[in-house]
Structure 1
Amino acid sequence: MDENQALALSVRRCVAGDTAAWEDIVRQTNRRIYNLCYRFSGSPDDAQDLTQEVFIKIYRTLGSFDSGKASFVTWVTTVTRNLLVDHFRKGKYDRMTDSLDAPMGDEEDGLALGSQIADKGQTPDERLESRETKELVHKALQKLSPELREAVILRDLQDMDYKEISQILKIPEGTVKSRINRGRTELARLLQRSNRQVGE
């Protein structure tokens, strides 16, 4: 049984009133939701609050999940993304691109990108350099436009395929690919500029 099948079974049990099934759902999706919220908000505290809001929303709308239309992971990501968009539109964050000074924090969940960058056998100097790289990537992500940022986050940090992203964002796959390519190009440009500034 793969992750989606296991989650779909947990959803059916939860809707039927099994509280242990809800705990399974939270445990299996918490990291993914937190990482999404963190990458969008730029703040560990805001990400924690937003994650709780997402779980409340998921719990209230769980009965509307239709496994025939999308996988549970896609549905959860869509719910999370919609809540984030609504949240930002309300003006709590006047401009998503301005939250650059938020500290990175020590939360491992918030630094999931590090698992792709870090090597477990690193020296202290290498670990420091790796952490600095993660901070640079995080800050550069915050500078991308919301459309490009969410496409890059869903593809490169959440490891979703083009079809899933197309469903979540409600745009054609061609537009998804275009946004990801533009986002990656812009991210690379921002990182190059940051590296030049560090080297000066």
Structure 2
Amino acid sequence: MLERTPEQEAAQEAVARLVRQCIAGDAQAWQQLVVSQHRRIYAICYRFTGSSSDAEDLTQDVFLKLYKNLASFDLLKGSFQTWITTLARNLLVDHFRRTRLDRASDSLDATFDGEEDGPTMADRLADTRDSQEQQFSSLELKTRIQGALKQLSPELREAVILRDLEDMDYKEIAQVLRIPEGTVKSRISRGRGELARLLQRIEKQRMM
């Protein structure tokens, strides 16, 4: 499991403090908690659905469910981020069942406009500069990565999202997906390998 930076630890403690205040009935703390988590939850919902309207509706559902169940969260038993991500993931699964959408449909237009938190896969592969030429190259790379991500199986894609887009560690992903850590590592490894092969194929097609 990856060690957290002092900044991450401080941020996690700040969230934990808000949660404790919310459980104690502090309405202002609830508003602060929503503001602190809304962007991230919306981003997750958007990455999986590919629809801004669906993502907004699902984000509201996540916070409604969070409000109803917050008192049941045990700060001593786990990370709040893991818990709320699990809530979001469960609602997404229900959404896909209701609408009969495949999780591999158009979904991972992840932070391409720079409005959402967290590093994208493209940010990990490309060093973005301010020049127009380099910005264009970065956008082009992001577009290719998006196309490759769409072709991953739902299981591999899900694992890659949580690890490489949400920067969650293996233990947290295992808790969210309810699978062993070994399976998490395997899916991430396979997903990255398949993604690399798809990107190579896309690049060859571009050069033809």
TM-score greater than 0.5 by the shorter chain: yes
Tell me, yes or no, if structure 1 residue 184 matches structure 2 residue 192: yes
Unaligned runs of 5+ in 1: none
2-side partners of 1:129 and 1:105: how far apart? 13
SS in 1 for 2:175: helix
Alignment counterpart, residue 16 of structure 2, candidates 8, 27, 37: 8
1-side partners of 2:97 and 2:74: how far apart? 27
Alignment counterpart, residue 133 of structure 2, candidates 125, 131, 139: 125
Contact 2:42 2:59 (8 Å CA) reproduced: yes
1:11 Cα offset (Å): 1.1
Tell me, yes or no, if structure 1 residue 108 matches structure 2 residue 115: yes
Could you say which residue in structure 2 is the equivalent of 1:97? 104
The 1:138/1:56 distance shift into structure 2, 3 A limit, reads: farther
Output the aligned Cα RMSD: 2.6
Contact 1:38 1:110 (8 Å CA) reproduced: no
Q: Report the TM-score when normalising by structure 2.
A: 0.84
The 1:105/1:149 distance shift into structure 2, 3 A limit, reads: closer
The 1:165/1:100 distance shift into structure 2, 3 A limit, reads: closer
Q: Report the TM-score when normalising by structure 1.
A: 0.87
2-side partners of 1:163 and 1:135: how far apart? 30
Tell me, yes or no, if structure 1 residue 163 matches structure 2 residue 171: yes
1-side partners of 2:159 and 2:88: how far apart? 14
Contact 1:162 1:176 (8 Å CA) reproduced: yes
1:15 Cα offset (Å): 2.1
Q: What letter matches 2:130 in structure 1?
A: Q
1:48 Cα offset (Å): 2.5
